[in-house]
């Protein structure tokens, strides 16, 4: 049976993997013994049987509130294989946000990890009749004795799942008001995962190290479905992916695939790599000459590759635009990075390229089988809103036909809300979010993301946000205090004066590198790190 002839449903694709790669390793914590795909299939069937006894049937919503672990995919597939709908909830959602998602989705049951149980202990909607601990599939509510998980059980029902059946409702925000639950079908997600496999092949010898939450569509499709289709093994961390956790994990797993967001590599570059080129005067001078910079980057790239385990063939970067300077380093370092573009509403991948085919500052061309157009492009710049059409476009927003009609045209085009342009080779270049554009005094479009990219290249800046106040551009800047204090700790300096001088220097630096419309009027210190989404994008609306 050829891959393209297989029904685009989770059970069909999983069963095909078991047939081809049943003995291959599937899921594990780092440093522990992985289970095979055949063993995972047994667990999935047993858990479906458990859910049946718990009263779950086709179409019911079952939530998952859990950190990443091998039991997460088992729970995910056990729900969807029986035609029920999974509602993945981001672990960093607040107690109120979790309640809102459970209430809006009318979840009948939920899996929860022990570390996150406190988020529902005090309050949960009446619709949630069963709460299951994900680590051992024991019943927490109504009580532990009411029903026990039998690892040898088989489901009583014979479930036929269709390609257009709803597989998942993913909430992009758990805030009060009109929550947006993105309805994705089996076909939406399966087609997208197969599209990812066309960009970069995966097989049973590949090892994925998972660092992003499985409840986010990026990790869900490309970090769970894609390796499952290829028969690859996915390794999960027991602790958050901080450097002390990540470095030994990469040494142990020696991953061939990693999916990340720009902030991870940007921190590595600005905090670890760039300072080594600025420590000594001779290096600092050489680094300014392109020929020597490329040589230095090549040497740093080899060390970085070794740090990541020495076997990487695909280092995916998605979720937001990567800093131009960091991407230049990755190219010159010959690091196997790849940039992708997509949204939750498109399951998520719309455009991407393999490491061998990346184009500087571009997300690459549309995924095979997906149409991308720039709607109503500007005659001078060629820029306009990116529209997408294909089998990966969502069914709509749950319980929100009005909101759905606003973003999906009658002929199936999804309005992404992103501004971009296509080159002659159909490579996509993103400019920024439509809703983030600041309109200047003379009506010109100002892209805050581009100014922020310049600001973030300045020494001692950790991250930034550009907003408009009283018609002027203001930069909110979170500084790398550790680095600043380290530089001035041996000197008796007035830190207040140093900050003033630094901010003035930053303002001059930025304004020398941007057009006159994008010049900043004021720089303000943001004392605490900005609040971020699951893909580490700053929650702009909180600071506007």
3-state secondary structure 41-87: HHHHHHHHHHHHHCCCCCCCEEEEECCCCCHHHHHHHHHHHCCCEEE
- 175-205 in b/e form (b: 16+ CB < 10 A) is beeebbbbbbbbbbbbbbbbbbbebbebebe
Superfamily of domain 3-202 in the CATH hierarchy: ANL, N-terminal domain (3.40.50.12780)
Residue 443 is given by DSSP the state S
pLDDT of residue 499: 82
What is the three-class DSSP state of 506?
A: helix
Residues of the chain with CATH 3.30.300.30: 443-542
Q: Which residues of 117-149 are buried (b: 16+ CB within 10 A; e: fewer)?
A: eebbeeebeeebebbbbbeebebbbeeeeebeb
Instruction: Calculate the dihedral angle through the C-alpha atoms of 294, 298, 304, 309, rounding to the nearest 10 degrees.
Output: 150
| pLDDT given at position 542 | 86
Q: Which two tokens stand for residue 459?
A: 């020494």
Residue 192 and residue 342: Cα distance in Å, rounded?
10
pLDDT of residue 179: 64
Domain 443-542 homologous superfamily, CATH: ANL, C-terminal domain (3.30.300.30)
Question: How far is 123 from 333, CA to CA, in rounded Å?
Answer: 51
Give CA angle at 470 (466, 471), nearest 5°.
70
The residue among 247, 327, 343, 312 whose CA lies nearest residue 537 is 343
Where do the H-state alpha helices sit in 441-494? Answer: 448-455, 481-488
What is the CATH architecture of 233-435? 3-Layer(aba) Sandwich (3.40)
CATH 3.40.50.12780 in the chain: give the residue spans. Answer: 3-202, 233-435
Residues 510, 455 contacting (CB under 8 angstroms): yes
- Identify the pLDDT of residue 176: 42
Per-residue pLDDT of the chain (544 residues; tens, 9 = 90+): 344 588 999 999 999 999 999 999 999 999 999 999 999 999 999 999 999 999 999 999 999 999 999 999 999 999 999 999 999 999 988 899 999 999 999 999 999 999 999 999 988 999 999 999 999 999 999 987 779 999 999 999 999 999 999 999 999 865 444 568 999 999 999 999 999 999 999 999 999 999 999 999 999 999 999 999 999 999 999 999 988 999 999 999 999 999 999 989 998 998 889 989 988 889 989 999 999 999 999 999 999 999 999 999 999 999 888 999 999 999 999 999 999 999 999 999 999 999 999 999 999 999 999 999 999 999 999 999 999 999 999 999 999 999 999 999 999 999 999 999 999 999 999 998 888 888 887 677 888 988 999 999 998 899 999 999 988 999 999 998 877 777 776 655 667 788 888 899 999 999 998 888 899 999 999 999 999 887 788 888 888 7
Quick one: pLDDT at residue 3?
45
């Amino acid at each position: 049976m050829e891959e393209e002839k297989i029904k685009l449903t989770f059970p069909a694709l999983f069963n095909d993997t078991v047939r081809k790669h049943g003995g291959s390793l599937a899921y594990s914590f780092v440093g522990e013994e992985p289970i095979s795909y055949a063993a995972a299939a047994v667990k999935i069937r047993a858990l479906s049987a458990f859910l049946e006894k718990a009263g779950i049937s086709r179409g019911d919503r079952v939530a998952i509130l859990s950190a990443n672990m091998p039991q997460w995919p088992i729970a995910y597939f056990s729900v969807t294989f029986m035609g029920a709908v999974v509602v993945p909830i981001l672990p960093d959602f607040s107690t109120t946000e979790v309640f809102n998602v459970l209430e809006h989705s009318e979840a009948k049951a939920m899996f929860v990890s022990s570390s996150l149980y406190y988020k529902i202990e005090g309050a949960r909607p009446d619709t949630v009749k069963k709460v299951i601990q994900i680590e051992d599939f024991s019943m927490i509510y109504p009580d532990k004795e009411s029903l026990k998980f039998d690892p040898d059980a088989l489901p009583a029902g014979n479930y036929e799942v269709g390609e257009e059946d709803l597989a998942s409702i993913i909430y992009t925000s758990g805030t009060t008001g009109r929550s947006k639950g993105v309805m994705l079908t089996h076909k939406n997600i399966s087609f997208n995962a197969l599209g990812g496999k066309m960009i970069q092949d995966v097989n049973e010898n590949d090892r994925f190290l998972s660092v992003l939450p499985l409840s986010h569509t990026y990790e869900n499709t490309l970090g769970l479905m894609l390796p499952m289709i290829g028969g690859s093994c996915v390794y999960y961390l027991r602790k958050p992916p901080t450097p002390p956790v990540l470095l030994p994990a990469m040494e142990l797993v020696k991953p061939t695939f990693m999916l990340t967001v720009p902030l991870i590599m940007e921190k590595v570059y600005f905090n670890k790599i760039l300072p080594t080129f600025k420590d000594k005067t001779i290096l600092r001078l050489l680094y300014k000459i392109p020929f020597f910079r490329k040589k230095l980057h090549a040497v740093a790239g080899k060390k970085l590759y070794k740090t990541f385990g020495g076997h990487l063939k695909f280092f995916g970067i998605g979720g937001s635009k990567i800093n131009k300077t960091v991407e230049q380093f990755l190219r010159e370092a010959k690091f196997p990075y790849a940039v992708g573009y997509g949204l939750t509403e498109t399951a998520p991948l719309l455009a991407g390229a393999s490491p061998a085919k990346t184009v500087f500052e571009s997300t690459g061309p549309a995924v095979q089988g997906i149409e991308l157009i720039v709607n109503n492009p500007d005659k001078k710049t060629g820029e306009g809103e990116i529209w997408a059409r294909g089998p990966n476009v969502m069914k709509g927003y749950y319980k929100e036909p009005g909101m759905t009609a606003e973003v999906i045209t009658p002929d199936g085009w999804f309005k992404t809300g992103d501004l971009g342009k296509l080159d002659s080779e159909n490579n996509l270049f993103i400019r920024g979010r439509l809703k983030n554009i600041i309109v200047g005094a003379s009506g010109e479009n100002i892209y805050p993301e581009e100014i922020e990219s310049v600001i973030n290249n300045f020494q001692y800046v950790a991250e930034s946000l550009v907003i408009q106040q009283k018609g002027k551009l203001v930069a909110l800047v979170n500084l790398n205090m550790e680095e600043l204090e380290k530089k001035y700790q041996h000197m008796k300096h007035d830190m207040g004066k140093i900050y003033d001088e630094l901010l003035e220097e930053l303002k001059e630096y930025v304004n020398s590198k941007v057009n006159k419309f994008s010049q900043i009027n004021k720089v303000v210190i943001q004392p605490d790190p900005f609040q971020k989404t699951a893909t580490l994008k700053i929650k702009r609306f909180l600071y506007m």
